[in-house]
Amino acid sequence: MAFVQNVPFFSIMLCMVCAISSAMLGRRAARAATLALSAVLCLINLWLLVFLKQSDMSYTYSMGHFPAPWGNELRAGPLEALLAVCFSVVVFMSLLGGLHKLSEQVDDRKQNLFCVMLDLVLAAMMAMLYTNDLFTAYVFIEIMTLAACALIMARQNGRALVSAMRYMMMSLLGSGLTLIAINLTYQLTGHLLMENIHESFVALKAAGRYETPITVITGLFFVGLGIKSALFPFHTWLPDSYGYSTPAASAVLSSVVSKAYIILLIKIFYRVIGLDIVVSSRALNLTFAFGVIAMIMGSLNAIASHDLRRMVAFSSVAQIGYIYAALGLGTLAGFVAAIYHLMMHAVNKSALFIASSGLADASGDSKRFSDLRGAGFRYPVAGACFCFGALSLVGVPILGGFVSKLYISEAAIGHGGIKMWVMLGALALSTLLNALYFMKTVITLYRPPRGDFSPPPLRRGRARGLALWGFMLLSALVGLMAQPIINALAQGLRLFS
């Protein structure tokens, strides 16, 4: 076994050690530790990705050397390594871009605790990506929920507190349903490791036994994790918690926290239950329907909001709809398109949150559109970064959003039937609505300001400038390198089951 194969274990343990030690560090040291942690995670996972891609393999890693049905296992393949790289870069840049606002909005003595929570989010994300054990996944779902709640309430204003409470209520229902699903899975199969569960499910399916419970399990996993990742009718906690928490928190929440649950759901559908069984249980039709509704409703809500960050938050609802709708096609091409969209959205949405906090700063800390006029001239880098993210999400060619929409429509055409028409129609309508609100915002940013409006001078901050440039580079990279990324995803999914 090559040394590089220890990376999944090191990733999780490093996050944990960093989280525990950050609790004792001062605020500067804790911030530096978290930045260093995410940079290190990115590099070591990149190393693993190169190794796995070259050797074209995936492997399981038994923790403590206990053999399969008893011990706890990790599993790594190109897909997991690629996503780990992507998410750790996003966390690095979000924290870098949010540092400035963090020291303004969060109490000095509590900033190291904010970093602890970021470390825990990273740990939970790494564990959800790499674990091969369903119950370990549940424990880290809860760690993720608690850390995310603390990130929301780090900024002590009324709206952030209330939205943290709302987030907890919805999330707890979600984790309760997920726990019941894991319960039922264990009762039916007697296993917690994903491969063993899959084997039992295949055997049960072949024997034609327990068809209804398997459908129920699929549905419970979908609803539980769907609530936690803010799928449309369960999204009520989202706009306030993304809109009023500190920018670093909203960037991480929108890009990493909600995505990790979707990754876990993909893992459960694809590896634990098995795509054939999921498709035949027709639970994916539900996923598809919810996704399509979210695509339209999220965009409509974004058009109706008067506040920049709430608009960006509602656009997340629509984008999560895209991911679920693409998953709902139930084909390999649909899954690849969904995962690419997920990565693209993680990068661009965190860029939009950091850029919009910069633009709001340039307008006297106001997020209202009337005050934002001309903000693009007052803070050119943030304006450019916002345009980049917005154009990418709308789907302008070369950028990531275009590629993902192309692949989603290709997957829909490959699927055929009624789903194809619904998907293509929803995609067209939703793109139109996206263009409507994003272009309106971009035009507002570059309109001359009202005559009597003179915002206080802006403190740009070198770190934020760096993060904004970094986000632009990353967004361009995701678009330009689409083909290698898609190839890696397809390879990863092939090795996944």
Partner 1 sequence: MWSVIVEHLEEIVAVLLFGIGFTTLLLHRNLIKKIIGFNIMDTAIYLFLTSAGYIEGRTAPILKDGVKSAAAYVNPIPSGLVLTGIVVSVSVTALMLALTIRLYRRYRTLDFDRITLMMKGEDD
Q: How far is the CB of 42 from partner 1 (least distance, A)?
A: 29
The residue within the footprint of partner 1, chosen from 64, 158, 208, 417 (CB under 8 A), is 158
The residue within the footprint of partner 1, chosen from 145, 315, 357, 431 (CB under 8 A), is 145
Amino acid sitting at position 427: L
Determine, following the binding rule CB under 8 A, whether residue 172 of this chain makes contact with partner 1: yes
Q: How far is the CB of 186 from partner 1 (least distance, A)?
A: 7
Whole-angstrom CA distances from 102 to 253, 313, 372 are 15, 19, 22
Determine, following the binding rule CB under 8 A, whether residue 159 of this chain makes contact with partner 1: yes
Determine, following the binding rule CB under 8 A, whether residue 164 of this chain makes contact with partner 1: yes
Determine, following the binding rule CB under 8 A, whether residue 406 of this chain makes contact with partner 1: no
Determine, following the binding rule CB under 8 A, whether residue 416 of this chain makes contact with partner 1: no
Total chain residues near partner 1 (CB under 8 A): 28
Token readout for 133 is 């054990």
Determine, following the binding rule CB under 8 A, whether residue 153 of this chain makes contact with partner 1: yes
Determine, following the binding rule CB under 8 A, whether residue 280 of this chain makes contact with partner 1: no
- Judged by CB under 8 A, the stretch of 181-189, 222-230, 283-291, 476-484 that binds partner 1 is 181-189
CA-to-CA distance for 226 and 343, rounded, in angstroms?
A: 18
Determine, following the binding rule CB under 8 A, whether residue 162 of this chain makes contact with partner 1: yes
Nearest to 79 by CA among 37, 133, 129, 43: 129
CA-to-CA distance for 353 and 468, rounded, in angstroms?
A: 10
Determine, following the binding rule CB under 8 A, whether residue 404 of this chain makes contact with partner 1: no
- Judged by CB under 8 A, the stretch of 78-86, 153-161, 254-262, 271-279 that binds partner 1 is 153-161
- Judged by CB under 8 A, the stretch of 89-97, 118-126, 134-142, 222-230 that binds partner 1 is 134-142
- Judged by CB under 8 A, the stretch of 78-86, 183-191, 281-289, 387-395 that binds partner 1 is 183-191
The residue within the footprint of partner 1, chosen from 17, 146, 420, 439 (CB under 8 A), is 146
Q: Which of residues 184-243 bind partner 1 (CB under 8 A)?
A: 186-187, 192
**Nearer CB in complex with partner 1: 157/497:** 157
The residue within the footprint of partner 1, chosen from 24, 50, 156, 462 (CB under 8 A), is 156
Q: How far is the CB of 120 from partner 1 (least distance, A)?
A: 12
Determine, following the binding rule CB under 8 A, whether residue 63 of this chain makes contact with partner 1: no
Binding mask 282-321 for partner 1 (x = CB under 8 A): ----------------------------------------
Determine, following the binding rule CB under 8 A, whether residue 17 of this chain makes contact with partner 1: no
Residues near partner 1 (CB under 8 A): 135, 139, 142, 145-146, 149-150, 153, 156-159, 161-162, 164-165, 168-169, 172-173, 176, 179-180, 183, 186-187, 192, 244
